[in-house]
Amino acid sequence: MRMAGSWWPRHPRAGTRHHHGRQVTSTMRMRMDEDGGVVVATPSPSRNPAPPRPPGNVHRGGRLPRMRMVGRRNPLGLIVALDENQEASGELFWDDGESADTVESKSYIFYQFRFSNNVLELSVTHNNYSDPHGLEFRRLRVLGLPRAPISIDVTTDGAEVSSNHSLSYDAGTQVAEVRGLRLRLGRSHALRWSLGTRESDRFDCHPWDGASPESCARLGCVWNETTSAERVPYCHYAGLESGYGASDIRYRDTGATADVTLRRPAHRGTGHAHRRQRSAHQGQSSAHGSTSDAHESTGSAHQSQSSAHSSTTDTNGSTGSAHQSQSSAHSSTTDTNGSTGSAHGRTINSNGSTGSAHQSQSSAHSSTTDTNGSTGSAHGSTINTNGSTGSAHGSTTDTNGSTGSAHSSTINTNGSTGSAHGSTTDTNGSTGSAHQSQSSAHRSSGSAHPRAMQPIERLRLEVTYHTDHMLQFKIWDPSIRRFEVPVPLFLPATPTIFDPSVRRFEVPIWDPSVRRFEVPIFDPSVRRFEVPVPLFIFDPSVRRFEVPIWDPSVRRFEVPIFDPSVRRFEVPVPLFLPATPTATPRSRLYDVEIQDWPFGIRVRRRSSGAVVWDSQLPTFAFSDQFLQISTRLPAPFVYGFGESERGTFRHDLGWHTWGMFARDQPPGYKLNSYGFHPFHVGLEEDGSAHGVLLLNSNAMDVTLQPTPALTYRSTGGIFDFYLLMGPGPEDVVREYTALIGRPVLPPYWSLGFQLCRYGYKNDAEIAELVQGMSQAQIPLDVQYADIDYMERQLDFTLSPRFQKLPQLVRDIRARGMRFVLILDPAISANETNYPAYERGLQRDVFIKWPNSDQIIFAKVWPDLPNIVVNDSLDWDTQVELYRAFAAVPDFFRGSTRSWWAREIADVFHNPRNSSLSLKFDGIWIDMNEPSSFVHGAVGGCRDRELNFPPYVPQLASRWEGLSSKTLCMEGEQRLPDGTPVRHYDVHNLYGWAQTEPTLRAVQEVTGERGLVVTRSTFPGSGRWAGHWLGDNTAAWDQMGKSIVGMLDFSLFGVSYTGADICGFFGEPSFELCARWMELGAFYPYSRNHNGNRDKRQDPLAWNSTFASLSRRVLGLRYRLLPLLYSLLFRAHAHGDTVVRPLLHQFVEDRTTWDIDRQFLWGEGLLVSPVLEPGVSEVRAYLPDARWFDFHTDSEVGVRRQFRNFPAPLGHINICHFWTRRSASGGSSGTFRRPWDSEVGVRRQFRNFPAPLGLGGRVRRQFRNFPAPLGHINVHVRGGLIVPQQLPANNTSFSRRQPLLLTVALNDSQEASGILYWDDGVGIDTYEKGEYLLMSFTARSNLLELRVLHGGYEDPNSLKFTEIKILGFSGNVGEVTVTQNSAPVPVAPIIEHDPQKK
């Protein structure tokens, strides 16, 4: 048999692309398998001779006939590879494959294939052969199809036929596949494709409020109200084009660069399906897809006359461009400067195609312009005699050209805006309370802020391959210095191409001991705000031990996008990177492709081919106050982003938008809360993981949709992305913390139980509580004082009701306990003798109005002097009558940091009266978003564009603007080098900037490691502080959400976390608080805390049953503190998570990807708490491992299953395991309980018993406590060795107790573990080498305890006195002990239960 004919197009249309600096023919590599993008039609090699092997590539524009690889009797298929014009052609010759001279005798079938105008034609040009097998074309693949096929109409020999085919489309690869066709060989067929946008692929073109068919059409987008789910956008883009393209793409071994330019100016809404213009006869106008509003308002006269690119739209809604057509300006108005406005600006040619005026800078619907040329748009707005405009639904413009909008708002001659619903503006132009008056619903279309929404035409892209596992891409405006986040990241410093004459803004918070250099790109003529984050660029000669630089195993990359012409704010957070990029072309885990048109960046994992980043989407926008970029996701598994309350750890991709902007906001669903973390971890289908950080500190939100895809929207700065390639989820966190800084190692005493309450009446109440806890033998390590201890809530003061607090603190410390004070940043300005404020004025530490020496005054907690507060009044009235004016320190300034340290030192030493000195051990910093009880400032804000930007992200109370519950965005702060920055750009960095100087001040005065707990956080905050999850509520759902919160902060690099046990607001029931005490015993930061309007909820506030339960639960915690401290060491030294999702340890088990009601301590301790009322069982999942009950030592007996375990009140289900790695350890001994047995369940959900009150003491082990009322299940995974210590009432005493080991053997009869031990309070003990690190290894009947680092000798001569081995399959004859190979004369007591092993 033979096959003849033309296998390849005679004139292949091969496009070109750039790859690593070379221009390459755009081809596709053939894959000789059925599932690949290209399969060559060949008969089965097992039955028939193979035809000549075709070339190894299929050209774009080509089509291949295809057969299944079984022989000539199997169905045929086609592969269509489209070129840049969305066209392709090919041919097929077919005969019997055996006869001679079939061409001469014309006994064959010949097909001409052509794909054009979304029609695939299979045309028979010669047919003189009938195949005996009745072959049909059954399967079709189309490669490079830019939009989804919605339907396909099939005709055969010119007649329409029914077809029961199935249709699929992958938007990421742009591959469409049709199965089930029945196209008979020898007949002519045609398939007409209707292209469109699937519901899951809709990208929101109108993310601000007030979307309508008219406003959507003005954006050049498609309006479709047909949806199958909530939150699906009605207004969406029609194609892939964003208007931006890339040129001068240059690849090098260390990265890539490109110029990114706006090729279709002011046309952000319309997507263009094709890369080249379509002729007029090929397209028709779309109902809503053909207009552009120039983003969406006003431009200068030279831009407003005609359209450079009038768009055309075909019947499927795809848009091309007709370069020669002109636009008309219907209902346009021109100001005294000659600017022209166009209402709709469309022309329709004779073929019905629509042209859109891409360069006209006008707003639809009767725009009006003032004498300065500013334009206001909004359905008939008017200007009054003072120049202010009142608009029912739209923008308003005053005589200075500033624009406002909001339901009957009023504007004075200074442009200040009053409150809606009848509020007025005073003679000073101050702004009243705008309760829902400043809604973005009618402002955010862009017409109110033409400059802020004007697309920046020239951008610069720089890609840096920092390591084989980490890449950065950065997009910025090179003409303006934009704000870049001033948070130090640990990054390599790669030379950046820049204009040396321009000064760019770099985020300036750094460690002066670390060497670095900065290579900025900026324009000296225009200063734009860039996130001020100076990168840590290290001298490789610096000793790694003294200055930690980077972990060479870290896998990450960074991709920044920015406008090179403008200095934009860049986050001033130094990153930790190697001094020079270390990635090599051969060893990188990723490949990067910059797509020229439409502009996009694609990052692919080499090992699997998964595309982890793909931003060639129509949403890309880059303007002064609106940045937007989308990326497709490799799989719908996304974790992270915060801080906000969620019910599940894994994000729901059902069109949910999450705002991020630090705010004094108690936890609530979708409410942006205290911290700001634009970081997420994504899982890929094969279980590989990657992480993405957007280093941008401006207000933003993220939308997740089922494509799967996500969209970032920011109100400023630049795009500065860092991609971490894992490949495991735990690897990603290690890489992320290597980038932003490893988590702090807290002092050992901070692992103990802690008590606090807002509402202690006086120092006597605290003294009574401390004494009562001691008498009840309930462990307590740390006592707090909330703002009650201050005089009128003034920082650095002592209330008359707490004059004995200094002595109480000394007494507490004498008991071996510690004391923590609260401080807020706001400083009262209404005092006659207040040193903190007076010295602050002298040192110039407070945030001011821009270009002024006037302080911005807020109102927070400090009360006015000489007043009596009437608590019966409503909150707003109390704030107005009683709260003092408060100045807010600027912690970027070096003078502020030294001032803050001085004030803290005065509290500790009190040079005026040493008897009143407060010898605290740590500081809790609250209200540091920063919070304000008045919106913006006393008297209101002055810059509407900053407080109400064109796009207000999806935030809590967004109608109140960005200044809601915080400072005015125009507030001016100064970086250490004196560079002024707007609060608009650095608001989210406030808590981050306060944290490090607070820790340094604590360490300076105490001489110890100290503790800082902060409410507001940013990437890198975990280097200095822990975090509590805020003012939660006493409700059952809050417990589960606290687990999600801890898992989130594990990703964010903040290991020391926890929630207020029993809830801050409201009064818990006995059962709720008891269950919460069980769960809270496994928070790394374990504190019971509540508010002043509710009764006390500490363990003594209930009854003896509750006290007993608390004693036992906390006893278990204290027993496990050596394990917890070792885990925190691993986090500090290596970036491991402490509270760990199950998926991090068992990522190969997809069931774990959705488990968030259980969590691990490290690699092995599985906690399964009770989270619902009135239950006696808990449903738990046990992954594939050997699991042992920590208390009964019984094996569960099954794996990879859900199981129900008994859970009576007082019971927590916990399991642990350990995988083998280098670790640390202790000494030898024996440890046994009479009911030892293996759990025996793997990869199952299980219900564990939870009787009332068993805590830290289990029978025959916790000898200091009475018999428990209940039982807490702790399960150890086989392979883990768990270090423990007998508990005591606080860590000062428990650290003197004997050490214990539990060895849980795995299936191979092996186990391992570590122990980290130091003095618990020293500063930088790990960095100085002042610690003990031991590893434990069990194998082949040998348990080895090895000292890996011996830099610390404990003064208590600690010994391991008991060792218990679980799952031992042999018989025990004797135990011998050796030290340094020499026998040790001991006579251990050996107990062995062969039944339980």
**Residue 1198's pLDDT band (boundaries 50, 70, 90)?**
confident
Q: Are 1338 and 1345 in contact (CB under 8 A)?
A: no
| Percent of the residues in the chain that have a pLDDT greater than 90, as a whole number | 62
**Residue 1217's pLDDT band (boundaries 50, 70, 90)?**
very low
**Other CB atoms closer than 10 Å to residue 1370's CB: what's the count?**
10
pLDDT at 195 over 50: yes
pLDDT at 109 over 50: yes
- The dihedral formed by the CA atoms of 741, 724, 981 and 626, expressed in degrees to the nearest 10: -160
Structure tokens at 183: 């196209």
Average pLDDT score, the chain: 78
Distance CA 1208, CA 422 (A): 58
Q: What is the mean pLDDT of residues 391-408?
A: 35
The predicted structure's pLDDT at residue 1271: 55
Beta-strand ranges (E) seen in 526-606 are: 530-531, 556-562, 566-576, 590-595, 600-605
**297 vs 596, higher pLDDT:** 596
CA–CA distances in Å: residue 633 to residues 384, 603, 636, 638, 726: 51, 11, 7, 9, 16
Residue among 785, 595, 798 nearest 172 (CA): 595
Residues 6+ apart with CB under 8 A from 1271: 1191, 1208, 1210, 1211, 1249, 1250, 1251, 1254
pLDDT at 363 over 50: no
Helix (H, G, I), strand (E, B) or coil at 1334: strand
Give me the amino acid identity at 1364: K
Q: Which residues pair with 1282 in a beta bridge?
A: 1302
Residues 6+ apart with CB under 8 A from 911: none
pLDDT at 231 over 70: yes
The predicted structure's pLDDT at residue 452: 84
CA–CA distances in Å: residue 1320 to residues 748, 919, 1053, 1253, 1364: 5, 18, 21, 29, 26
pLDDT at 874 over 50: yes
| 970 cis-preceded (ω within 30 degrees of 0) | no
pLDDT at 561 over 60: no
| Percent of the residues in the chain that have a pLDDT greater than 70, as a whole number | 70
The position carrying tokens 């029912």 is 392
The position carrying tokens 């630089």 is 549
Beta-strand ranges (E) seen in 374-421 are: 375-376, 382-383, 389-390, 395-397, 403-405
Angle (CA) 199 203 208, round 5°: 120
The predicted structure's pLDDT at residue 278: 31
Q: Are 1144 and 1282 in contact (CB under 8 A)?
A: no
Structure tokens at 1018: 């940013």
Least trusted range by pLDDT, from 48-52, 218-222, 838-842, 1378-1382: 48-52
**Residue 551's pLDDT band (boundaries 50, 70, 90)?**
very low
Q: What is the mean pLDDT of residues 592-603?
A: 96
pTM for this model (two decimals): 0.79
Residue among 1116, 1183, 1192, 1123 nearest 1364 (CA): 1192
Residue among 289, 438, 432, 446 nearest 362 (CA): 446
> What does the pLDDT look like over 1314-1373, one tens digit per residue?
999 999 999 999 999 999 999 999 998 899 999 999 999 999 999 999 999 999 888 887
Query: Which residue stretches of 776-832 are H helix?
Result: 805-814
Residue among 922, 903, 917, 906 nearest 810 (CA): 917
**Residue 1179's pLDDT band (boundaries 50, 70, 90)?**
confident
Q: What is the mean pLDDT of residues 17-42?
A: 33
> What does the pLDDT look like over 631-656, one tens digit per residue?
999 999 999 999 999 999 999 999 99
**882 vs 13, higher pLDDT:** 882
pLDDT at 308 over 90: no
Q: What is the mean pLDDT of residues 972-996?
A: 96
Distance CA 251, CA 460 (A): 14
Q: What is the mean pLDDT of residues 1261-1277?
A: 46
Q: Are 742 and 724 in contact (CB under 8 A)?
A: no
pLDDT at 314 over 50: no
Name the packing angle between helices 729-740 and 1037-1051 (round to 10°).
60
582 DSSP 8-state letter = -
Beta-strand ranges (E) seen in 1227-1327 are: 1239-1245, 1273-1277, 1280-1285, 1299-1304, 1311-1317
Structure tokens at 883: 């709260």
Q: Burial code of 1130-1145, b = ≥16 C-beta within 10 A, e = fewer? A: bbbbebbbbbbbbbbb
**Residue 1214's pLDDT band (boundaries 50, 70, 90)?**
low
**99 vs 434, higher pLDDT:** 99
**Other CB atoms closer than 10 Å to residue 36's CB: what's the count?**
13
**Other CB atoms closer than 10 Å to residue 1114's CB: what's the count?**
27
pLDDT at 1376 over 80: yes
β-pairing, 689-694 with 637-644?
Answer: unpaired
| 132 cis-preceded (ω within 30 degrees of 0) | no
**Residue 86's pLDDT band (boundaries 50, 70, 90)?**
very high
Residue 366 main-chain phi, psi, to 5 deg = 55, 65
> What does the pLDDT look like over 124-168, one tens digit per residue?
999 999 999 999 999 999 999 988 999 999 999 999 999 999 999
Distance CA 1079, CA 1171 (A): 9
pLDDT at 600 over 90: yes
The DSSP H or E segment spanning 767 is helix 763-775
Q: Are 824 and 818 in contact (CB under 8 A)?
A: no
340 DSSP 8-state letter = B
The DSSP line for 686-742 is: TS-EEEEEE---S-EEEEEETTTEEEEEESSS-EEEEEE--SSHHHHHHHHHHHH-P
> What does the pLDDT look like over 896-914, one tens digit per residue?
999 999 999 999 999 999 9
> What does the pLDDT look like over 651-660, one tens digit per residue?
999 999 999 9
pLDDT at 1147 over 60: yes
Q: What is the mean pLDDT of residues 371-384?
A: 35
**Other CB atoms closer than 10 Å to residue 350's CB: what's the count?**
7
Residues 6+ apart with CB under 8 A from 444: 208, 209, 210, 950, 951, 952
- 909: number of CA atoms within 13 Å, CB side? 13
Distance CA 1256, CA 1210 (A): 11
442 DSSP 8-state letter = G
- Is the torsion defined by CA of 54, 56, 62, 67 positive or negative? positive
Output helix, strand, coil percentages for the chain, rounded to the nearest 5.
15, 30, 55
The predicted structure's pLDDT at residue 566: 53
pLDDT at 237 over 70: yes
pLDDT at 474 over 90: yes
